[in-house]
């Protein structure tokens, strides 16, 4: 029951894994023992690079912008999280002695923090000064909280005092204006759990809760700050920290039958209703948003939902998703031959990274090991794997709160995500002053393709070209989303931003609608205020010659020419890519309609056969498309915006 796409790419992981169990896990073969073996394998490889006093793990590779010492702390903290889940899930059994190493490292790192020597941890300061240690403080605090009985309670009182003083730096300094506020929240939760709470810890937790309420937008989705950034941080940060905090505190919130007034568990459950669709049949998460080098951390929310009971998913479905995500990356060489998680996606990939990415950054993947908090006899491990949502009938799901539209096709197990609401631009930033970010600015993303690099042609993008200057898409203004039986839509507007010449053209605006139906994506755009001589271009999915997926793009209205553009830097999935492109001319107000698809179906019919009729009424901005397979019609009106199908 393994996808052909999985079988074609399978490679041996860098460490030994147990024998597969295809009876209990017919889709992946993975069991709980595979998770323990993976945690041990990752830890064993990372600890080869520890300092003599065990306070820092200086993994090889390019340093982050925070510097080598901060990167070494990152190596300690993020692997500690994996070890903590591993040992806590085994009720204290620690056959490899991981906790002794972390106890030694804690003592050495906090002895003289801030000193420039072999072992000392950097101080925690404001995010714009020296902020990365604040991120790592949360992993240290969670690791100590998870393993309290076997590590913290056995420490010398002086080490405990020093550790507290270092951790309190997170409470006394300013986090970045996003999910970072959950780092002092987690530190404060740990300190309170060991009887060291006070007004300072209470303020940190109250501040984070207040911000979370303002960032919550509905349907289980939080914005990552005051803007409109919606991505994997919803699962591996904004849901994980408060729900895990409640679980470790023993609150009734951690029970599936809870009637607690805390909303976090209910929000996680609602989030998983839609998020569970965003994994392909091969186990891949959507390649979208920043910090993708955290890889299988994308399944952390699924595992946490199963552990706490805050999930709408059957245990066998949760098992399928977490196992599939872990195996997807192990089978594709994410660890390399040395057993270390590389900076990239499958293997090393520079364009996937951010400037804050360092050699140990990928170890935030440790958050996926939250699934190990479910003991061996938990349904997550005893239930037989069931099909993932993307392996069921073709499905289209609108998520109006974040402005996203997801759709999956059973024939090839591909999931696509159309972005009409997430842009990662902070409220204080002007659009023209923000660089293009391929991980947010594209119209569409998938489980089987990645965006092209910034230096290459942009895939899945509508651009306006004026006097040789090409526009980009920065702030995305959602206009709505909805779905029906077998179809769905999402819409947005943006003001084109130009990287050369005048940054913006007065009155120039683009309104875009995506309608998904089966493997088809109907893309309609209304360009307003285009100066004479403007050219409009629409690109499709970027794919490579060695891939089994194929990209197609077909003009239905307004387009004059079609060609293909090369992207030599490729994507996270292929070393070299080609992007289909349509080109048309615009002046004033103009409508453009195209059909796109990404498919691995071997005998997929050409897009030219999908639509039998297109009717466009320019004065009202209305597009009506008749589908060839069943005669149904899709109608898009831009003024006012309405989308219908029937």
* DSSP symbols for 215-257: HEEETTEE-SSSS---STHIIIIIIHHHHHHHHHHT-GGGSTT
How much is the pLDDT for 218?
97
How much is the pLDDT for 43?
98
Sheet (strand 622-627) strand order: 611-617, 622-627, 633-638, 641-645
Supply the Cα-derived Rg of the chain in whole angstroms. 25
Mean pLDDT calculated for residue range 147-155: 98
Does the pLDDT at position 644 exceed 70? Answer: yes
Phi, then psi, of 604 in degrees rounded to 5: -65, 130
Mean pLDDT calculated for residue range 382-409: 98
- The backbone region for 632, taken as left when phi is positive above 0, alpha when psi lies in -120 to 50, beta otherwise, is beta
Does the pLDDT at position 523 exceed 90? Answer: yes
Does the pLDDT at position 109 exceed 50? Answer: yes
Structure tokens at 427: 């409220």
C-alpha torsion angle, residues 397, 595, 563, 449 (rounded to 10): 20
Q: pLDDT (tens digit, 9 = 90+) per residue, 221-277? A: 999 999 999 999 999 999 999 999 999 999 644 333 333 458 999 999 999 999 999
Q: pLDDT (tens digit, 9 = 90+) per residue, 344-388? A: 999 999 988 999 999 999 999 999 999 999 999 999 999 999 999
Does the pLDDT at position 3 exceed 80? Answer: no
Does the pLDDT at position 36 exceed 50? Answer: yes
Question: CA 235, CA 367: separation in Å to the nearest integer?
Answer: 10
Contacts of 173 (CB under 8 A, 6+ apart): 124, 125, 126, 127, 131, 134
The chain-wide mean pLDDT, for the chain, equals: 95
Q: Contact, 309 vs 14, CB < 8 A?
A: no
For the four alpha carbons of 427, 432, 435 and 441, in that order, the dihedral sign comes to positive
Mean pLDDT calculated for residue range 506-530: 97
Q: Which helix (H) or strand (E) holds 520?
A: strand 520-539
Q: pLDDT (tens digit, 9 = 90+) per residue, 298-345? A: 999 999 999 999 999 999 999 999 999 999 999 999 998 999 999 999
CB atoms within 10 A of CB 250: 10
Closest CA to 596 of 633, 548, 543: 543
- The backbone region for 271, taken as left when phi is positive above 0, alpha when psi lies in -120 to 50, beta otherwise, is alpha
Percent of the chain with pLDDT over 70: 97
CB atoms within 10 A of CB 208: 24
Q: pLDDT (tens digit, 9 = 90+) per residue, 282-297? A: 999 999 999 999 999 9
Q: pLDDT (tens digit, 9 = 90+) per residue, 70-108? A: 999 999 999 999 999 999 999 999 999 999 999 999 999
Percent of the chain with pLDDT over 90: 91
How much is the pLDDT for 6?
39
């Amino acid at each position: 029951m393994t996808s052909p796409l999985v079988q074609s790419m399978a490679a041996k992981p860098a460490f030994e894994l147990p024998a597969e169990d295809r009876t209990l896990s017919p889709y992946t073969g993975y069991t709980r023992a595979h998770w323990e073996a993976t945690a041990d394998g990752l830890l064993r490889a990372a600890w080869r690079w520890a300092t003599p006093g065990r306070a820092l793990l200086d993994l090889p590779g390019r340093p982050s912008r925070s510097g080598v010492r901060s990167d070494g702390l990152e190596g300690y903290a993020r692997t500690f999280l994996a070890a903590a889940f591993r040992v806590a899930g085994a009720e204290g059994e620690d056959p490899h002695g991981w906790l002794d190493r972390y106890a030694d490292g804690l003592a050495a790192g906090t002895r003289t923090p801030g000193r420039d020597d072999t072992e000392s941890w950097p101080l925690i300061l404001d995010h714009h000064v020296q902020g990365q240690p604040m991120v790592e403080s949360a992993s240290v605090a969670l690791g100590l909280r998870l393993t309290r009985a076997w590590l913290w309670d056995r420490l010398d009182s002086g080490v405990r005092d020093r550790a507290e003083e270092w951790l309190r730096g997170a409470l006394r300094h300013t986090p970045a204006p996003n999910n970072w506020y959950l780092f002092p929240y987690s530190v404060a939760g740990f300190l309170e759990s060991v009887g060291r709470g006070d007004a300072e810890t209470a303020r940190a937790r109250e501040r984070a809760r207040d911000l979370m309420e303002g960032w919550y937008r509905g349907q289980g989705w939080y914005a990552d700050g005051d803007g409109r950034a919606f991505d994997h941080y919803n699962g591996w940060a904004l849901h994980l920290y408060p729900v895990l905090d409640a679980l470790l505190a023993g609150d009734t919130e951690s029970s599936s039958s809870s009637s607690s007034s805390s909303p976090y568990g209910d929000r996680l459950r609602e989030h998983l209703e839609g998020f569970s669709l965003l994994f392909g049949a091969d186990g891949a998460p959507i390649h979208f948003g920043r910090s993708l080098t955290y890889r299988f951390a994308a399944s952390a929310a699924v595992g946490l939902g199963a552990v706490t009971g805050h999930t709408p998913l059957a245990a066998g479905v949760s098992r399928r998703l977490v196992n599939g995500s872990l195996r997807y990356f192990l089978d594709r060489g994410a660890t390399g031959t040395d057993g270390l998680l590389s900076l990239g996606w499958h293997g090393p990939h520079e364009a996937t990274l951010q400037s804050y990415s360092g050699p140990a950054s990928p170890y935030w993947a440790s958050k996926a090991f939250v699934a190990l908090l479910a003991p061996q006899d938990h349904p997550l491990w005893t239930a037989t794997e069931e099909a993932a949502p993307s392996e069921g009938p073709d499905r289209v799901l609108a998520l109006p709160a974040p402005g996203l539209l997801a759709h999956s096709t059973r024939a090839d197990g591909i999931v696509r995500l159309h972005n009409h609401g997430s842009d990662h631009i902070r409220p204080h930033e002007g659009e023209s002053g923000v660089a293009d970010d391929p991980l947010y600015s594209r119209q569409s993303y998938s489980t089987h393709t990645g965006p092209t690099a910034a230096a290459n042609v942009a895939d899945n993008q509508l651009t306006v070209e004026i006097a040789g200057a090409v526009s980009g898409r920065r702030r995305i203004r959602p206009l709505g989303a909805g779905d029906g039986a077998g179809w769905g839509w999402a819409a947005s507007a943006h003001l084109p931003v130009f990287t050369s010449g005048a940054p913006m053209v007065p009155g120039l605006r683009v309104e875009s609608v995506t309608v998904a139906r089966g493997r088809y994506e109907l893309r309609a755009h209304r360009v307003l205020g285009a100066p004479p001589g403007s050219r409009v271009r629409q690109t499709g999915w970027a794919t490579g010659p060695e891939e089994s997926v194929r990209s197609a793009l077909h003009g239905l209205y307004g387009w004059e020419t079609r060609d293909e553009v090369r992207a030599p830097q490729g994507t996270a999935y292929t070393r070299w890519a080609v992007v289909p492109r349509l080109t048309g001319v615009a002046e004033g107000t103009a409508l453009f309609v195209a059909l796109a698809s990404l498919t691995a179906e071997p005998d997929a019919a050409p897009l030219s056969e999908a639509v039998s009729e297109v009717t466009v009424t320019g004065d009202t901005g209305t597009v009506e498309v008749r589908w060839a397979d069943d005669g149904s019609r899709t109608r898009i009106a831009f003024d006012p915006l309405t989308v219908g199908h029937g």
